[in-house]
Amino acid sequence: MSRKPVHLAVYDTYADWETGHATAYLARAGYEIRTAGPSREPVTSIGGLRVQPACALDDVRPSDSSLLILPGADLWDAGDELAPFARTAREFLDAGVPVAAICGATVGLAREGLLDDREHTSAVSFYLAATGYGGGERYVDADAVTDRGLITAGPTEPVAFAREIFRLLGVYDGEVLDAWYRLFHDSDAEAYAVLEKAQASG
For the annotated catalytic residues, the residue numbers are 103
**Strand runs labelled E in 92-161:** 99-102, 144-147, 150-153
Give the whole-angstrom CA distance, residue 136 versus residue 125: 7
Listed residue (66, 62, 7) closest to 34, CA to CA: 7
Contacts of 61 (CB under 8 A, 6+ apart): none
Q: What are the C-alpha distances in Å from 58 to residues 34, 79, 93, 195?
A: 14, 20, 16, 38
